[in-house]
Every structure is written in structure tokens, then in C-alpha cells.
Amino acid sequence: MSLNHLIYPLENDDERLNVKFRNVYCDNLNAGNITQTFNNLRNRTYEQLSPDVLVVGGQGEATLFDLTDALGSNLIPADSTRKGTKYMITSHGDIETVGANNDIILLVKLNTAIMETIAITLPNLTTGTYFTFNGEILFYEIGNAGTAVAKSFFKLTITDIQGLSEVTFANGTNNTTVQTTADNLLDMTCEWSSNNSSNIFSTHNIEIARIY
């Protein structure tokens, strides 16, 4: 960076910079692209800090977000999104079933609008089976119901004690009940088809991060 940058406002001369911004260190930024780079940093909006969140057979549909001692919130405030705003969800935990052919349903919602339905029939899963879940919701258009468009893509991976994995993908588009001019609760729920309480979906951690 030239000495002139210490005296005058930063100009784009295509030099390479190392910039520290609020404890986020970015190597070799292009001087003409600093604003865009910082706009695309991950902003953690929710982090589970409570003990494992359990959903068991017979409990019915239950949210995976436990606000007890959580960092942040899973609420998307009204008028806080722009075209291109993206929310990313990542989680992991363990899962076990009593026998085979137990169905589990995961729903991803914005308020009552269902963005995703991930339904999977499970084999017999013993203790030591783990899952990872990650996905994103991208706002293509903002505005009132019928105008705002949000699309999503999610991946669920379940790996049993033998190391065998089953991967399920889902993607979809919101219905007309979504509007960015009102508060939207970004929720993820789980429900078992069986009433056996030994069917367990245990979330060790779940995080929401916003980009742009």
C-alpha cells in the first residue's frame, strides 16, 4: 500500500492489501473490492449453547431451536433482507432408531411457510450413528407476500456406526405467505412417524449465519 493511502482516501490502484477489520483478518484483498468482500463475510446470527436438543418418537413436531442460553436469535427482522441476502444453516448430532423402517420428517420454515420437507425412511440405527445437516435460503426478491421469492437447498447426511452414509437432498421455493416486510421466524422442526420414545434425534449444535 502506497504512502498516499495514509494521507488521502483509498483509491483503486489494484494493489494487494492485508486488512484487519474488527478482528477478522483478510489476506491479499484487492483495493477496489474491499466493500464487497466485507459485505460477504459470515455474520453468525444464532448459535446453540444449550445442551443437546432432543426430539423423540411420540413427541410430535418440535423445533430444533432452543433459545435457552443461545447466542443471538433465529428471527429475521422485517425489512432486514436485500436481494441476494443468504442465510446458511449448519447442524450436527446423533440419531438412533428402534428397528428399521422408521420415518423422520424435517421441515424448514419461514414463519408458517414451509421451505423444505425432508422425509427419509431410516434403517436400524444403533448408538453411534451421526448426522450432519447444512443448507441455505437465498432471497431472490424482497417485498410483500406474493412478491418476495426465497429459494432453498439442503443436504442431510446420516452415517452409521459402520461408516455407511445415506445422503438426502432437498430444494424448493417459498409459497406466497412469505414476505420480507414482516418479521420471519427461521425455524427447523423434526417429527418421527413412530411413537416409540427410543427413536431419538439429538442436535448437538445448530448455527445460523447471514451473508450480505
Structure confidence by residue, pLDDT tens digits, 163-179: 999 999 999 998 778 89
Query: In which band, very low, low, confident or very high, does the pLDDT at 7 lie, cut at 50, 70 and 90?
Result: very low
Question: Could you tell me the pTM of the whole model?
Answer: 0.78
According to DSSP, residue 8 is labeled S
Cβ–Cβ under 8 Å, residues 203 and 64: yes
Q: Are strands 113-122 and 102-110 parallel, antiparallel or unpaired?
A: antiparallel
What values do phi and psi take at 2, rounded to 5? -75, 160
Cβ–Cβ under 8 Å, residues 49 and 70: yes
Distance between CA atoms of residues 30 and 142, nearest Å: 30
CA-CA-CA-CA torsion sign (73, 76, 80, 81): positive
Distance between CA atoms of residues 166 and 18, nearest Å: 42
Distance between CA atoms of residues 178 and 184, nearest Å: 8
Cβ–Cβ under 8 Å, residues 182 and 156: no
Q: What is the radius of gyration, based on Cα positions, of the chain?
A: 21
Question: Residue 174 has which C-alpha cell?
Answer: 417459498
Residues with Cβ within 8 Å of 126's Cβ and at least 6 positions away in sequence, in order, are: 96, 160, 161
The pLDDT value given to residue 50: 87
Query: In which band, very low, low, confident or very high, does the pLDDT at 15 lie, cut at 50, 70 and 90?
Result: low
Beta strands in 163-199, from DSSP E residues, in sequence order: 165-173, 184-192
Domains and CATH numbers, the chain: 1-39 (no CATH), 43-211 (2.60.120)
pLDDT above 70 (res 118): yes
Query: In which band, very low, low, confident or very high, does the pLDDT at 3 lie, cut at 50, 70 and 90?
Result: very low
Cβ–Cβ under 8 Å, residues 147 and 179: yes
- Burial (CB count within 10 angstroms: exposed 0-12, middle 13-18, buried 19+), residue 83: middle
Distance between CA atoms of residues 152 and 45, nearest Å: 18
pLDDT above 70 (res 67): yes
Of residues 210 and 67, more confidently modeled: 210
